[in-house]
Structure 1
Amino acid sequence: MSDSIRTYGGWRRRRGLGLAGMDTTTTFLALGAALIFLIAASLKPAVLLYLAPPAVLVGLLCFIHVGGQPVATFLLARIRWWWSSLRGYTRYRAGIVIDHPRAFHLPGVLAPLTLLSAEDGYGSRYGVIWDRRTGFLTATLNVTPASPWLADRDEADAWVASWGGWLASLGHMPAVRWVTVTVETAPSPGTALSDAVTASIKPNAPQTAQEILGKLVASAPAASAEVDTRVSVTFDPKRTQAKDLTQAVAELGRILDALAGRLGGCGVSVAGRMNAAQLAGTIRTAFDPYARAEVARVLSRPDSSELLGWADAGPVHALEHPNRYEHDGGTSVTWAWQEPPRQNVHSDILTRLVAPGPFPKRVTLQYRALDSATASRTLQNEVNAAAFRAQVKQRTGRDETAHDAWDAARARQAAAEEAAGAGLCLVSLYATVTVTNPEQLPHAVADVESASDSSKTRLRILWGSQAAGFATTLPCGICPPDLTRRSL
């Protein structure tokens, strides 16, 4: 008798009441325009000569899709990009020789952020990213995940179950806006090993031994990789009783202790909170891959907080293109999760995507947990929307597709599970790859897209939003859906 392997699934993309691939707002606008057209035609048929051309144009813009989105949305994105580029919003250059406290602001959506250093109550300090526009605070935990291949299958399943319970508990913490989990991998520059070996070699050591160690150090960068896993928690002080920034940071520290204490059952061990120098160094190496070895040396020193600050984190130059992002020593491409796996998958489905590769890469999963009242209302709206689409197809004489039937069943299943006590999370996935040689960019793009295919996920390049997507994979608490709501 063979053991059964547990699988996971049930992810579903939010659809709302949209018809023919349109969102809810566009659907009601199209229905309103059609109603006005019919009323005008019934009152005065001659007006059809004037209403027909714009009606046909609106129909073409709404119902014809390009790359999975309506032509109207496609054209609007292009127009907004052209206008932003014309006004210089896609370019950034730091004023290095300007004696001004705001000369080293980060570009784009990172501009309102600043770095704070707070006490953790145990004699150490940790870094907090403060968004001065929204008031949000973001702190990051360094974690070390255990390998599921070195554990029993039942133990790995228990880790996944505990992670689901950990995410569900976020719904009972209204001050936690979202949690961002990032796995960053990069080919190791070998400087740490080289420095350690050089410091340990005695001057009177045999020449043969020194040559062997030198060859080992020289071959290590091609066979090793750096892997860092981070859990960033974004906190909204407005949802607490905190009266000032000091009280808000103290409340954030208590929440971090509570969340970190429950991560042990999820198969990860918490290595501690990232301090201000580590946060600045992580952002610096993302913008300038050539600085990775230098930043590693600085962080290994006891006075790293004095040598590496927020002014050192940002790039000197950045230029956003529609399909890539150029910054200091590298060029990056960022994707977003267009569709999750439709079938049930194993717990190691993302292994290939997050595994180290030939290029620096960051894969980010962002979780926005909803409270019970909001979750129940959201899922009920999704069920009603699925029923509405089915009724429209029935009344128009069209058969329900297999995809629509599957989507409706998933919506009802999610609503039933929430009613039984399950939590609800809105999940997003982002992936960023960086190259130091622009000629290698096609190879890096192919490598990530191939890994996403093996992970049963569909990624889509963030056209016109490369800078925002790049910032999302950093430990800065950036959330693209929140940015969209603010812009609207």
Structure 2
Amino acid sequence: MFKEVTTMAGDIRTYGGWRRRRGIGLLGLDTTATFIALGAMLGAVVLGTVRPGLLLYAGPPLLVAGVLGLIRVQGVPLAVVALARLRWWWGSWRGHTRYRAGVVVDHPRAFQLPGVLAPLTLLSAEDGYGGRYGIVWDRRTGLLTATLRVVPSSLWLADRADADTWVACWGNWLASLGHQRAVRHVTVTVDTAPEPGSTLADAVTATLDPRAPASARRILQQVVDAAPAAAADVDTRVSVTFDPKASPSAPKDLLDAVAELGRLLEGLASRLSLCGVTVVGRATAAEIAGTIRTAFDPAARGEVNRLLSRPGSEEALTWADAGPVHAVEHADRYVHDSGISVSWAWHEAPRQTVHSDVLAHLVTPGPYPKRVTLQYRVLPAAQATKTLELEVNAAAFRSAFRRKTGRDETARDAYDAARARQAATEEAMGAGVCLVSMYATVTVTDEKELQRAVAHTEAAAESSKIRLRRLWGSQAVGFATTLPCGICPPELAHRWHA
């Protein structure tokens, strides 16, 4: 899905220009399916001309294939839905949806994480300033993912002109990634959860004078007891996934690749500070492991926060502490340790123009732990031009096909063609092009609260003009995507299909 920013006339600036990527497809099919359908129709015509009797045998399979390809369920072809159900049944039957770690195990794969997280491991590298930071290394693909911890400025207290400047700088920051061939994708995650109470309790306990009056101690204890209902943990992070194979410097080994990633992060962090966020630093290996641990075991959030707040916490948590003891993936939810999670993906972007605070309702802390992730796959500058030209040509082809068949142009078709031409024009003027996807995960510790948490998240998405779709049969992948591990579902799908 493309994302461009457009300025509308008026006192308040609005943004829009998103459009779904479309090829030269007919009847809602993509390019490949369209050519397959045309080839099947041509074959049927030739067969009917040469051997008309064979159509009695070839006709029913072609009819079934047409029904499976043309009938859609929530915008997805029936054939794709059936194939996904078949794969889910096959994986469940073979036990691929269940994971259980041994508490006392001694073999090389003892601390392997479940599902798509299995090939990953955690590295610790020097940042060049006397500190260390964590890197998630995908041993299968060689990708490296480092995470920047940031604190965004509040839009509620900022001037409107400042917010517009931040959005413009963010667009320029993303556009600059088109010239960084080694950056595979960037993931921005807002992680919120109710305050477990341990942080404030530890701070009060450490500073409370035992000689203080009993009434004062009682008041402070009441404040500590009530704090979790009124406070929240908010963690915002920007994860950058680096591909050493695409780097111009061509790193020879893992050590060179890590050094190149460190230099790249320094430049990205310095420019990121212009986008309305304060870069706190690079996440350490212990902080990454703690984030994954609290995602799988939300009941341990207070304990993890206490460990990470102690001096010298760089070695407090390791990769062995990050994974769950058990995890079971169901079609509609993901059960893991002390939590039950439900994940969604972005089904449709806002059709209308929106304000800069459109996502405020979705990312605002709520009564349940929640992670909202925006993933950007920036196209290289050279590829962006070619891609947008293909989109404009595809829109022109669909328009010509409608004229030839005598069909009227719909308002949505006219709007889509105009957006394609606008995107090509803006790219020619220096704008960047990126594929955008969104994922959201909410977690509860009590199954009775699951439906309420689902309704709360979907209502927040509707308030943000976002249409989410539950990841049926892919809950574990959606859960992993919102973690600072560099998981990208479109790349996984391409890898599996290949």
TM-score when scaled to structure 2? 0.96
1:419 aligns with 2:423: no
Match of 2:380 among 355, 371, 383: 371
Match of 1:314 among 310, 318, 323: 323
Q: What does residue 16 of structure 2 align with?
A: 9
Q: Secondary structure at the match of 1:226?
A: strand
Contact between 1:21 and 1:70, CA under 8 Å: does it hold in 2? no
CA distance in 2, matches of 1:469, 1:114: 19
Q: What does residue 408 of structure 2 align with?
A: 399
Match of 2:218 among 196, 211, 216: 211
CA distance in 2, matches of 1:91, 1:161: 45
Q: CA deviation at 1:40?
A: 0.9
Match of 2:159 among 152, 155, 158: 152
Q: What does residue 97 of structure 1 align with?
A: 104
Q: What does residue 468 of structure 1 align with?
A: 477
Q: What does residue 323 of structure 1 align with?
A: 332
CA distance in 1, matches of 2:387, 2:257: 29
1:109 aligns with 2:116: yes
CA distance in 1, matches of 2:254, 2:368: 39
Q: CA deviation at 1:3?
A: 6.6
Identify the range of structure 1 (352-361 vs 38-47) with the bigger mean alpha-carbon deviation.
38-47
Q: CA deviation at 1:393?
A: 2.3
Q: What does residue 128 of structure 1 align with?
A: 135
Q: What does residue 237 of structure 1 align with?
A: 244
1:256 aligns with 2:265: yes
Counterparts in 2 of 1:57 and 1:142: CA distance versus 1, 3 Å: same
Contact between 1:21 and 1:69, CA under 8 Å: does it hold in 2? no
Q: What does residue 179 of structure 1 align with?
A: 186
Q: Secondary structure at the match of 2:366?
A: coil
**AA matched with 2:473:** G
For residues 83-104 of structure 1, the C-alpha deviation after alignment (integer angstroms, 9 at most, x for no partner) is 1111111111112211123211
CA distance in 1, matches of 2:121, 2:134: 10
Q: Secondary structure at the match of 1:148?
A: coil
Q: Secondary structure at the match of 2:251?
A: coil
Map residues 64-75 of structure 1 onto 2, 5 A cutoff.
Answer: 64-75=71-82
> What is the alpha-carbon root mean square deviation over aligned residues?
1.2
Map residues 225-374 of structure 1 onto 2, 5 A cutoff.
Answer: 225-240=232-247, 241-374=250-383
CA distance in 2, matches of 1:31, 1:438: 49
Identify the range of structure 1 (266-275 vs 48-57) with the bigger mean alpha-carbon deviation.
48-57
Name segments (4+ residues, structure 1) moved above 6 Å. Answer: none
**AA matched with 1:41:** G
Identify the range of structure 1 (391-400 vs 185-194) with the bigger mean alpha-carbon deviation.
391-400
Q: Secondary structure at the match of 2:156?
A: helix
Contiguous gaps of at least 5 residues in structure 2: 1-8
**AA matched with 2:160:** R
Match of 2:457 among 426, 448, 451: 448
1:141 aligns with 2:156: no
Contiguous gaps of at least 5 residues in structure 1: none
CA distance in 2, matches of 1:414, 1:436: 45
Q: CA deviation at 1:323?
A: 1.2
Contact between 1:135 and 1:236, CA under 8 Å: does it hold in 2? yes
Q: CA deviation at 1:381?
A: 1.1
Q: What does residue 60 of structure 1 align with?
A: 67
CA distance in 2, matches of 1:166, 1:306: 33
CA distance in 2, matches of 1:358, 1:27: 46
Q: Secondary structure at the match of 1:243?
A: coil
Q: Secondary structure at the match of 1:150?
A: coil
**AA matched with 1:430:** Y
Q: CA deviation at 1:42?
A: 1.9
Q: CA deviation at 1:419?
A: 1.2
CA distance in 1, matches of 2:388, 2:50: 41
Identify the range of structure 1 (174-183 vs 66-75) with the bigger mean alpha-carbon deviation.
66-75
Map residues 430-445 of structure 1 onto 2, 5 A cutoff.
Answer: 430-445=439-454
1:119 aligns with 2:101: no
**AA matched with 2:442:** V
Match of 1:41 among 28, 48, 57: 48
Q: What does residue 458 of structure 1 align with?
A: 467
Match of 1:223 among 227, 230, 233: 230
CA distance in 1, matches of 2:37, 2:139: 39
Q: What does residue 388 of structure 1 align with?
A: 397
Q: Secondary structure at the match of 1:149?
A: coil
Counterparts in 2 of 1:63 and 1:3: CA distance versus 1, 3 Å: closer
CA distance in 1, matches of 2:416, 2:90: 38
Match of 2:27 among 8, 17, 20: 20
**AA matched with 1:474:** L
CA distance in 2, matches of 1:239, 1:450: 41
Q: CA deviation at 1:391?
A: 2.2
Determine what percentage of the aligned residue pairs are the same residue: 67
Q: What does residue 207 of structure 2 align with?
A: 200
TM-score when scaled to structure 1? 0.98
Contact between 1:96 and 1:104, CA under 8 Å: does it hold in 2? no
CA distance in 2, matches of 1:214, 1:279: 32
Contact between 1:375 and 1:423, CA under 8 Å: does it hold in 2? yes
Q: CA deviation at 1:307?
A: 2.9
For residues 173-229 of structure 1, the C-alpha deviation after alignment (integer angstroms, 9 at most, x for no partner) is 001111100000000011110111112112221010011101111111001111100
CA distance in 2, matches of 1:399, 1:256: 51
